[in-house]
Amino acid sequence: MTTIALRTFFGRLGRHALGVLLCCVAATSVLSCGGGVGTGGTGSYGAAPIDGFGSILLGGIEFDTARASVLDDDGLPRDGGELRLGMTVEVEGGAVVGAAATASRVRIARAVVGPVAASDAAARTLLVLGQTVQVNGSTVFDPSLHGGLAALRAGDVIAVSALTDAGGHLLATRIAPAAAAEPWRLRGSVAALDAAARRFRIGDATLDYAGAAQVPAGLAAGRLVNLTLSGGAAGALGVAAFGPVSQPPAEAADAQVEGLVTGPVSSGHFKIGGIDIDAGQASIEPSAAALVAGAQAEVAGRMQGGSLLATRVTLPTPQQTERRIYRLAGAIESVDAAAASLVMRNTDVDFSAARFLNGSAAALAAGVTVRVQGTLSADGTRLDATQIELR
């Protein structure tokens, strides 16, 4: 594993987003694309879903993760090989020099781990631990979940990476079965805090933290928390412990974040994932009228005075969010020529309709290095390649 890329929206960005995160919330290193990136910042920061793996570019910036440490939801070291497409991550790195930055740390930031309470195929939603999880055409499903959303049943315990807002709205970027015996988890913003009863809400879930460990000082409404749960008690979910949460980007760091806008939006000011955004002087695409609470947005800029001073805000259309381009780069792990499929970067790839550069399908074999781009299959479990370049 050498480099990674965070998810981006539009073609001018997407064509460069080749890496998958080593890099959320919870995150690979990313940097602001354009609008000031590489012009002297003291470091780099990115928070977004993994958009690709391999030697990659993001808005013309290449991120090297060869020496980066990877941390899980609890802040414990993990193998970078566990990173998957669609996982939300946060990445910290060094200054952008020319067109490159070196990542030092990648933190995984899943939104919820728990049992499916209900599923609505028509609305494309799941209910998990009191959180309504929205699925779209860019949601990556683990290959074991053949059929995607249709494969899930009440009681299935799943791990969800997602873009979230303060109201508990989750837009899933990856859904996979939870690891065996993994504790239930929930990440979100505190609402309806009752300090006397030691309860609060996240989404439609009531949390009881009377017996919790590591309760943060100054717990207050609006605070982002990362919880390990211990089960239910009198209509509430018990909190076993408060875990580490995201640290704000360093002052003067080039930063890029993707998420759901937490409003209200006032004079270009809003939040994404707890980060204050000042977009008063930013270029907003396609228009400022689309910048509203709950909108999906990608923001690039530089940290200044504790806020992300945005140079660009990109708001995708519904059609763009439904058809994300993913990219992989590296060595093929295995090939099934009869099925026109291969495996690389822990991702199943169907190449039956792919256009080939510098070779043909006959040249595909284990160990051959390729660059693949494509979109997700209808069930989200594989990448349907549109182009494969042999290296």
Q: What pLDDT digit, counting tens, does each position of 322-381 carry?
A: 988 898 989 999 999 999 999 998 999 999 999 999 999 999 999 999 999 999 999 999
Question: At 4, is the pLDDT very low, low, confident or very high (cuts 50, 70, 90)?
Answer: low
The values of phi and psi at residue 288, to 5°, are -65, -25
Lowest-confidence segment of 139-143, 225-229, 275-279, 314-318 by average pLDDT: 314-318
pLDDT of residue 120: 96
Which one, of 44, 4, 49, lies nearest residue 302 by Cα?
44
SS3 36: coil
Mean of per-residue pLDDT scores for the chain: 86
Segment of 15-24, 38-47, 63-72, 277-286 carrying the highest mean pLDDT: 277-286
Average pLDDT over residues 223-243: 91
In this structure, the strands spanning 383-390 and 355-357 are: parallel
CATH superfamily of the domain spanning 112-177: Copper binding periplasmic protein CusF (2.40.50.320)
Which one, of 200, 273, 264, 189, lies nearest residue 223 by Cα?
189
If residue 13 lies in a helix (H) or strand (E), which one and from where to where?
Answer: helix 11-14
Q: What pLDDT digit, counting tens, does each position of 269-290 carry?
A: 999 988 999 999 999 999 999 9
pLDDT of residue 235: 87
Tell me the residue ranges of DSSP E strands in 136-251.
140-141, 157-164, 170-177, 185-189, 191-194, 199-202, 205-208, 224-233, 236-242
Sign of the C-alpha dihedral computed for residues 252, 254, 260 and 265 taken in this order: positive
Which residue's entry shows tokens 């631990």?
Answer: 129
Which tokens go with 67?
Answer: 């020496």
CATH superfamily of the domain spanning 325-390: Copper binding periplasmic protein CusF (2.40.50.320)
- Does the structure show a pLDDT above 50 at 38? no
The CA distance from 102 to 382, in Å, is 29
Whole-prediction pTM value?
Answer: 0.89
Which one, of 387, 383, 390, lies nearest residue 326 by Cα?
383
Which tokens go with 299?
Answer: 């923001």
SS3 361: helix
Segment of 88-92, 240-244, 321-325 carrying the highest mean pLDDT: 240-244
Question: At 390, is the pLDDT very low, low, confident or very high (cuts 50, 70, 90)?
Answer: very high
